[in-house]
Structure 1
Amino acid sequence: MRKKIIFSVIASLMCLMVRAQDTTVNGPILTLKDAIDIALDQNFNIRIAKVSLEQAKANNTIGNAGMLPTISAIGTLSKSITDAKIELATGAEQNRHNAQATTLGGAAQLNWTLFDGLRMFIAKDRLNEMEQIGNIQLRSQVQATVSQVIISYSSVVYEKQQLIALDTAMSLAYSRMTIAKKNFEVGTSAKTDYLQAQVDYNASKYASILQDAKLRQLKDSLMLLLSRDQFADFDVEDSLKLNPDLTFNAKELWMSDNFDVQLAAEQKQLSVFDLALTKRLQIPTLNLAASYNYNRLQNDAGATLFNRTYGPQVGLNLNLPIFDGFNLQRQKKVARLEVNRQDLLYQYTQSRVAMQYRVAWRAYKNALEGLNLEKENIKYAAENVMIQQARFKVGVSNTLELREAENSYVAALTRLVDAGYTLKVAEIKLLVIENKLVR
């Protein structure tokens, strides 16, 4: 007989849970995989990082490093009208009214730095480094976005499960209210049991309304992260896929893969290139200048009435820095200090990331233990509420005992949901630090 009662209560609870789940459905199901795919394609931060990488690639050329010559063409044309009175040394005089003068000139010029202390090659290495930084920043942004999407999606699932827990409390209160009403009508219990059940039912219903509003707000936040329509109706999966098998790894196995550490290393290398560029400023620079010129002058008055010249011109320019007010020494000192600063930042980043990993691992381990405990607790709480419902129906237990059992079950269900979400967040943080979230 007891088994039949327990089976009946389990079936009743399952029906209530299904009904509670149905109330949360708004539109098609958005899976976690779909959310990640949408974010990878539409997220603004990823798209911005892609543009930044394309800019770094466009800048990474040998011409931008100064290895190629520059060629330019110039042309001039001028015309003037003047009144001229000229007395020549021979004693002759020229008087011209509205005398015209026309000047026509053109040139093709080439400038090429032949030697600059190898600064151009260091500049090219620096451009390569800038492109590498852009690539790491893009991959880091992709991983950060995926992490945000998973946590945001998990938050929606978490609040949906909390809504189900509140609807379960409401359903249990409704069931108790129905039983208390029947017992009151047949005279086996006081009206206070029925009234208390009615109060508990209304309180659970109001809490469910508030939770539904909170769930919708989190859905809007998820849509913003996906760069999608804020008014789109959708539902999420009913549960989170948890990974209870993560292991603690020594930092030597993952430290070099961490994006923060990689960026700190690249910034350090960038400062080394800047120091090398500064040192090369004290080395002489040799430039080649070549041109082909054409000039034509025609005057109506003057000692020269017509003049035309054209032909090539070539020359070498040597620039040797001798004294610049000690600015070069200052620049080298600042550059060395920057290398030292970036090295300290690199060491600090390694220490900070290692600390974050230890904290994340302890949080993951504690969350896993908590989840296992709550899985065990929910079984006891479910069986307790079933027994108390059966006893309440036959008048063996009172409404306070049943109410306490119901509250204990709902609290255990809420803690179970919370433990699952906490474990998921800790799992994601560990994978992000180890750079294993995105393959």
Structure 2
Amino acid sequence: NELMASENPGEEIILADSLIRLNENLIYDTLLMRTLLHNTGLQIASKNQDISELDYKIIESRAYPYLTMSTGYGYTYSGYGTGDLQNQQVHGMNYGLTLGMDLFDGFNRRREKSNARIEIENREIQYRQVEQSVKADLMTIYYAYENNLNRLRLEEQNLEVARENLEIAVERYKLGDLAGLELREVQKSLLDAEERLISVKYQVKLAEISLLQISGSIMDYL
């Protein structure tokens, strides 16, 4: 506490757990379903499809008859300073309806509809491209996740063997049956095994986070 300049030297300090907590139960089919529903790239591509279809409907609606309504209120005051005429006030509401239809616009609407159809098709192609790309990325990351899990189990076994070897080496050293240099080699083997295990855990965690991110489930991690 003193070294950290704590205001309360007697305050109990609880260290955060630095262990790498892994989720070894991620299932590909579940991740794929979540990806198709919640992936950000797919959602954007889907919204673009909706927008292009709405644009087409707007253009198409211009061929329909239209009805407009207008209303207004008028007030007029006329004041006469001389003569026999009295001041006059005129007020009242007026309204009207207009029914119309565009008969010919120089083929502009036909051209706009054609362009809008092409845009819808392009958005559909873009969505499929994004979908295939996302699926490929998901599969690649999941394979890396599975491979690293297999490596993790192997390194856990190697670590257990290294610990047993160290116990045996220490006993032999106590009995004078093992030189100090050989004992240090066994100790180094244990440290190497621990380092490899931490490295593999890190790789598993990276793959796990990437899977949650691509499937739109990153909040499960946070």
- 1:274-313 matches, within 5 Å, as 274-298=55-79, 308-313=89-94
Aligned mate of 1:422, from 193, 203, 210: 203
- Structure with greater proportional strand content: 1
Deviations 1:302-349 (A, max 9, x none): xx9965321121111234335556543443333222211211121112
Counterpart residue type for residue 404 of structure 1: E
1:244 aligns with 2:24: yes
Counterpart residue type for residue 57 of structure 2: A
Given that 2:142 and 2:207 are in contact with CA atoms closer than 8 Å, whether structure 1 keeps it comes out as yes
Partner-residue secondary structure (3-state), 2:102:
coil
Q: 5+ unaligned residues in a row in structure 2: which ranges?
A: 1-11
Instruction: Give the structure, 1 or 2, with the largest relative contact order (CA under 8 Å, sep 6 or more).
Output: 2
Counterpart residue type for residue 363 of structure 1: A
**Equivalents in 2 of 1:411, 1:432: separation in Å?**
32
Give, in angstroms, the shift of residue 262 of structure 1. Answer: 4.1
Give, in angstroms, the shift of residue 438 of structure 1. Answer: 5.5
Give, in angstroms, the shift of residue 258 of structure 1. Answer: 3.6
Given that 1:371 and 1:420 are in contact with CA atoms closer than 8 Å, whether structure 2 keeps it comes out as yes
Give, in angstroms, the shift of residue 362 of structure 1. Answer: 0.7
Counterpart residue type for residue 239 of structure 1: L
**Equivalents in 2 of 1:288, 1:386: separation in Å?**
94
Given that 1:251 and 1:354 are in contact with CA atoms closer than 8 Å, whether structure 2 keeps it comes out as no
Counterpart residue type for residue 26 of structure 2: L
Counterpart residue type for residue 315 of structure 1: G
Give, in angstroms, the shift of residue 407 of structure 1. Answer: 2.4
Partner-residue secondary structure (3-state), 1:237:
coil
**Equivalents in 2 of 1:283, 1:408: separation in Å?**
82
1:405 aligns with 2:186: yes
Residue equivalent to 1:135: none
**Equivalents in 2 of 1:330, 1:393: separation in Å?**
93
Larger displacement relative to structure 2 (346-355 or 247-256): 247-256
Given that 2:148 and 2:203 are in contact with CA atoms closer than 8 Å, whether structure 1 keeps it comes out as yes
1:257 aligns with 2:55: no
Counterpart residue type for residue 122 of structure 2: R
Deviations 1:244-281 (A, max 9, x none): 33344289855642434344333312321121012112
> Matched residues, percent identical?
29
Q: 5+ unaligned residues in a row in structure 1: which ranges?
A: 1-25, 29-234
**Equivalents in 2 of 1:326, 1:400: separation in Å?**
92
1:347 aligns with 2:140: no
Partner-residue secondary structure (3-state), 1:282:
coil
1:334 aligns with 2:115: yes
Counterpart residue type for residue 132 of structure 2: S
Deviations 1:162-202 (A, max 9, x none): xxxxxxxxxxxxxxxxxxxxxxxxxxxxxxxxxxxxxxxxx
Aligned mate of 2:162, from 378, 381, 392: 381
Given that 1:255 and 1:350 are in contact with CA atoms closer than 8 Å, whether structure 2 keeps it comes out as no
Partner-residue secondary structure (3-state), 1:239:
coil
Task: Decide which structure has the larger Cα Rg and report it.
Answer: 1
Q: TM-score, normalised by structure 1?
A: 0.41
Q: TM-score, normalised by structure 2?
A: 0.74
**Equivalents in 2 of 1:416, 1:251: separation in Å?**
26
Residue equivalent to 2:3: none
**Equivalents in 2 of 1:236, 1:279: separation in Å?**
62
Given that 1:244 and 1:368 are in contact with CA atoms closer than 8 Å, whether structure 2 keeps it comes out as yes
**Equivalents in 2 of 1:328, 1:417: separation in Å?**
65
Residue equivalent to 1:106: none
Given that 2:35 and 2:216 are in contact with CA atoms closer than 8 Å, whether structure 1 keeps it comes out as no
**Equivalents in 1 of 2:21, 2:51: separation in Å?**
41
Counterpart residue type for residue 382 of structure 1: R
Counterpart residue type for residue 373 of structure 1: L
